Amino acid sequence: MEAFQRIILVHYHEIGLKGHNRSTFEKRLQKNLEALLVLWPVVTVHRVAGRLVVFLKEGTSFEEACAVTDALVLTPGVARVSCGFKCARDMEVIGRAALDALADAGPFETFKVHGRRNHTDFPVDSMAINRQIGEVLCLAHPDKRVRMKDPDVTVNVEVVQNAAYVYARSVRGIGGLPVGSSGKAMCLLSSGIDSPVALWRTARRGATCVAVTFSGRPQTSDAAEYLVDEICQVLQKNGCVGRLYVVPFGDYQREISLMAPPALRIILYRRLMFRVAQALARKERAGALVTGESLGQVASQTMENIACTNAVVDLPVFRPLIGMDKLEIIGDAQRLGTFEISSQDAPDCCTLFMPRSPETHAKLSVVEEAEAQFPIDEWVEELVASAEPHDYACPSYKPPKSR
């Protein structure tokens, strides 16, 4: 019995709705997948009939193919990933490939066949493909039932120009747009649960993400920095982050805590962070800032306090989590793979010099008056100069040219 070449079909949805620029998004997704799969047993990645086909090396096992599938499902732009076979355009051969594909699908009681003929030079039409391949599967599995609506397994047969693709095991992806198709964003990232999810959701909309984290160093240890690095290593598996800037922030927080009204400390910290993030965004030619704020979750995330923070920047500030509750965010973090990392305790700038009763409804004029005593512009220059860049694997990221 012949062994068919294993393939992975990568389906996309939102890209398929694009107009004349659709090929630009397809090529971007193809380049991303080629870079992300460089260490896997992959021969090549082709664009075929409205999807991408990943051709695996001869002898690739089912377990290895599943591992490739798992590596792709969290990649932005991927709507669904299917594990199957390439075979000749011959109905007898397709039937044997369908049996192999069904065997890979796992336990089932009901099934159906969905045939699709993309080229009319193949003499068997879609309905006949369904009937003939269905008969083959029924003979091999007489104890199983055909169900046309909501079967346990659907065996797909796609006949294209020079081959047929047969697959039954499909896993849903996260959808969205490929990273690198929607500009660049500067993301404020901490070791907490929320901000990694905000970065990931921004990458899912096609943005190339650069991150900045503010360390409590030298007033605290650098333990939180290691957690942020671990988070970035998770994010880079799907090309979601290109660079992380680590900014030692502890001494500046200490200066603010000594002289500013205690209730305003958090707002003053964040206003300084936003100024630094914007300066780094200008350096990176990023078009927006991204934060993990959720409305009303903590003191700094009330409408009034958000307005006071926004007032110091002119770049747009995206807040992908603004309407989500904590359980929804935790669910995303668990799916992404950052929740366990973020659940570890480590001293960071967020917990440094925290007031007992932070202001929840700050007035901008009062905040600006309290801030006027500090050399803010000088501090921003110093903090930007002290930022330590760390690079990660992101196919669409290009470091800024040194001037």
Q: 8: which 2 tokens?
A: 């992975």
Asked if 235 contacts 179 with a C-beta cutoff of 8 angstroms, the reply is no
Which is it for the CA torsion 137, 142, 147, 148, positive or negative?
Answer: positive
| Nearest CA-CA partner of 252 in 288, 218, 299 | 218
Region at 84 (left for phi over 0; alpha for psi -120 to 50; beta for the rest):
beta
What is the rounded distance in angstroms from the CA atom of residue 211 to the CA atom of residue 290? 9
Distances in whole angstroms, Cα of residue 361 to Cα of each of 2, 263, 314, 351: 71, 10, 22, 20
Q: 257: which 2 tokens?
A: 């805590």
Q: Which positions make up the binding site for ATP?
A: 188-189, 213-214, 270, 292, 301
What is the rounded distance in angstroms from the CA atom of residue 284 to the CA atom of residue 398? 9
Q: Which positions make up the binding site?
A: 188-189, 213-214, 270, 292, 301
- First-to-last alpha carbon distance for the chain, in angstroms, is 63
